[in-house]
Amino acid sequence: MKTLYFGGAVLPMDRPGKAQALVVEDGKILAVGALEEIEPLAQGARRVDLEGRALLPAFVDGHSHITALAQTLGLCQLSGCGSLEEMGRRMKAFRERWAIPAGEWVIGFGYDPNDLREGRHPTKGELDAALPDCPAMVTHASGHMGVVNSLGLQRLGVTAGTPDPEGGRIGRLEDGSPSGYLEEAAFTTMGSRIPRDPEAGLKNLERAQQVYFSQGIATIHEGLARQPEWDLLASAAAKGLLRGDVAAYVDIQDSAALLAEHRDHLGQYRSRLKIAGYKLFLDGSPQGRTAWVEQPYLGGEPGYRGYPVHQDGQVLAFLEQAQREGVQIAVHCNGDAAAEQLLRCYEQAFARYGRDIRPVMVHAQLLRPDQVPRLKPLGMVASFFVAHVYHWGDVHVANFGQERASQISPARTALDSGVVFDFHQDSPVIPPNMVESLWCAVCRRTKSGQVLGENQRLPVWEALRAVTSNAAYALFEEGQKGTLSPGKRADLVLLDRDPLSCPPEELKDIRVGEPIKDGAPVYKNE
């Protein structure tokens, strides 16, 4: 079966410029170019008039967590809460709506102290007041920290005698008892102990795929696959429930058994699921003030710079493992101190083994412009969470000062340095909205309207490459995806206007139409 697309702007993304038409056959791109030249190849084809819309390669997710997004779809949504009182009301209303009985967990997601009138995290006592007879947990929007009530702490076995884990912190009251606040490794470790419903997980995973499809994304990330996340994805794959490709990165600290059992998934899709590589954390969240930075945060404890997850020796061992095995590794780095640790350790590992594994520096929020050129000789990709400019740019100004904050997500420096980079939204931190990220990269406006780092603005063409061809390259999939080239998979997305022709400020208003996976529609935006 052939399909001919014509009547709009076709952006191949393998070169600057536009084409008039594209022909798809049996899930692959047959031809792209001038309509009169390729129409003879489309004899008997279904004809799709774009009606002035733009046709591009489907967006490729640079980094997110589909299983976490799926999980949040079944939680109390706390984003946009303006006060702790409102958080409590939402949690109580959620419990009542779903008739959650006493003794069962009630979980909320997405609060941000920067949006709260009180400007702080809730306490366990405040959660106790809202939910006195249920264990309860609320998760910060970053996913790096949260608060548990008294009954929840009991269920998780967190007491005054529970030590802080490496790379994490348990908040404590003056008497040493837990305050309810859990940070980084303390939060992720404790949170993993909360029981999950496999049946609900599969249903929510299907819903999560639709969220990605609605934004034109056909290749999706699972940015941290431990055994529970992998089991959910593998179950969905076995049941034929994955309609998009899912690339999973397994936790390098807990991956040996998983990788040994599923080696056949390494680097290749099976039922639309593959193991893309390893995942390693080096620090935390800049808006949550746990990112590891060279110069202290402004405000708060004098001299506080966040903290590392691992010391150099352990980081080097992990990176050498990836190099030795020839397995890609994606490394979470937000602060410039964490970026420096990755660079100096990877330089040593690369010098010893010299394998091209395309390591990815994930987030790279405070990667300094002077650090950027060091990525290129290592073959290192930068995956920027560029939407931080809008969502937390004003917060970063308060945390780091104008000069440092203006250089977050230094995409233009990466472009000028010849460093390959892509964009992501780290969903469920924010929705997987690639169009918003395009606008953020081109305009760099904060919520207050200020331009944050005009020197880091990108041309629209380069921003589009970051969510198509560059993102495919970062996954070692440039031979199959990312451009509209003959022989590649027909992963396509329709936009209601040509992003290369519309005013930059209107990029955020572009509507995503029908995403197409392997030549077949997977979602219909109304």
For the segment 261-302, what is each residue's pLDDT rounded down to a tens digit? 999 999 999 999 999 999 999 999 999 999 999 999 999 899
Average pLDDT over residues 88-108: 93
Which residues does residue 191 pair with via DSSP β-bridges, in sequence order?
none
Instruction: Give 270's DSSP letter.
Output: B
Token pair recorded at residue 119: 């400007």
CA distance 247 to 476: 11
Which residues does residue 57 pair with via DSSP β-bridges, in sequence order?
492
Model confidence over 432-479: pLDDT tens digits?
A: 999 999 999 999 999 999 999 999 999 999 999 999 999 999 999 999
Q: 217-225 and 245-251: which strand pairing?
A: parallel
Span between the terminal Cα atoms of the chain, in Å: 26
Among 103-112, 315-324, 337-346, name the one with the lowest average pLDDT.
Answer: 103-112
Q: Are the C-beta atoms of residues 298 and 274 closer than 8 Å to each other? A: no
Q: Find the DSSP H helices in 326-400.
A: 336-353, 388-391, 393-400
Q: Is 143 in a helix, a strand, or coil?
A: coil
Q: Which of 93-97, 142-146, 324-328 has the highest mean pLDDT?
A: 324-328
The answer on pLDDT for 131 being more than 80 is yes
Q: Which long-range contacts (CB under 8 A, 24 or more apart) does 40-48 make?
A: 42/2, 42/4, 43/2, 44/2, 45/2, 45/3, 45/4, 46/1, 46/2, 46/3, 46/4, 47/3, 47/4, 47/6, 48/3, 48/4, 48/5, 48/6
Q: Is 337 in a helix, a strand, or coil?
A: helix
What are phi and psi for residue 208, nearest 5 degrees? -65, -40
Question: In angstroms, what CA-CA distances link 459 with 46, 56, 284, 410, 415?
Answer: 35, 17, 30, 13, 10
Residue 83 banded pLDDT, cuts 50, 70, 90: very high
61: left (phi over 0), alpha (psi -120 to 50) or beta: beta
Q: Are the C-beta atoms of residues 50 and 20 closer than 8 Å to each other? A: no
C-alpha radius of gyration, the chain, whole number:
23
Q: What is the pLDDT of residue 4?
A: 97
Q: What is the pLDDT of residue 195?
A: 82
Q: What is the pLDDT of residue 199?
A: 77
Comparing CA positions, the residue from 214, 216, 215, 220 lying closest to residue 242 is 220
CA distance 234 to 248: 11
CA distance 501 to 504: 9
Q: Are the C-beta atoms of residues 484 and 370 closer than 8 Å to each other? A: no
CATH fold, domain 1-52+481-526, is Urease, subunit C; domain 1 (2.30.40)
CA distance 447 to 391: 6
Work out the number of other CB atoms within 10 angstroms of the CB of residue 266: 16
CA distance 346 to 139: 32
Residue 167 banded pLDDT, cuts 50, 70, 90: confident
User: Treating both helix axes as pointing N-terminal to C-terminal, what angle do 227-238 and 198-214 enclose, rounded to 10 degrees?
Assistant: 80
Q: Are the C-beta atoms of residues 433 and 215 closer than 8 Å to each other? A: yes
The answer on pLDDT for 173 being more than 80 is yes
Mean confidence (pLDDT) of the chain: 95
Work out the number of other CB atoms within 10 angstroms of the CB of residue 148: 30
Q: What is the pLDDT of residue 524?
A: 75
Model confidence over 493-518: pLDDT tens digits?
A: 999 999 999 999 999 999 999 789 99
CATH architecture of the region 282-458:
Alpha-Beta Barrel (3.20)
Which percentage of the chain shows pLDDT scores above 90? 90
Q: What is the pLDDT of residue 390?
A: 98
Comparing CA positions, the residue from 226, 279, 220 lying closest to residue 66 is 220
CA distance 341 to 310: 10
Instruction: Give 380's DSSP letter.
Output: P
The domain segmentation of the chain, as residue ranges, is 1-52+481-526, 67-191, 282-458
Comparing CA positions, the residue from 7, 22, 6, 51 lying closest to residue 483 is 22
| C-alpha 120, offset from chain centre | 25
Q: Are the C-beta atoms of residues 421 and 384 closer than 8 Å to each other? A: yes
Work out the number of other CB atoms within 10 angstroms of the CB of residue 175: 6
The answer on pLDDT for 197 being more than 90 is no
Q: To which H or E segment does residue 258 belong? A: helix 256-261
Which residues does residue 421 pair with via DSSP β-bridges, in sequence order?
382
The answer on pLDDT for 526 being more than 70 is no
Q: Alpha-carbon dihedral of residues 237, 242, 243, 245, nearest 10 degrees?
A: -80
Token pair recorded at residue 319: 């990176």
Average pLDDT over residues 7-28: 96
Residue 374 banded pLDDT, cuts 50, 70, 90: very high
CATH architecture of the region 67-191:
Roll (3.10)
Question: In angstroms, what CA-CA distances link 318 with 208, 271, 313, 349, 381?
Answer: 31, 29, 9, 9, 18
